[in-house]
Structure 1
Amino acid sequence: MMEGLRETLASLTAMDIEGLRAVWRERLGEPPPVRSTDILRRSLAEALQIEAGGQSVALDKRLSRAASQHRTGKKPRLRTSTFQPGSTLIREWQGVRHEVEVRPDGYVWQGQKHASLSKVARLITGVRWNGPRFFGL
Structure 2
Amino acid sequence: MKPSSIAARVAALPSTRFADLKKLWAQLFDMPMPTHNRSYIERRIAYRMQELDLTKEQQQLLASNKKRIDALLQQTKPAQKVGRGELVRLAPGTVLTREFMGQTHRVVAMPDGQFEYGGKPYTSLTAIATSISGSRWSGPAFFGLRDAQKKERKGERT
Query: What TM-score, normalized to structure 1?
Result: 0.41
Q: Which structure: larger Rg?
A: 2
Q: Please give the TM-score of this superposition, normalised by the length of structure 2.
A: 0.36
Higher relative contact order by CA 8 Å / sep ≥ 6: 1 or 2? 1
Flag the structure with higher helix content. Answer: 2
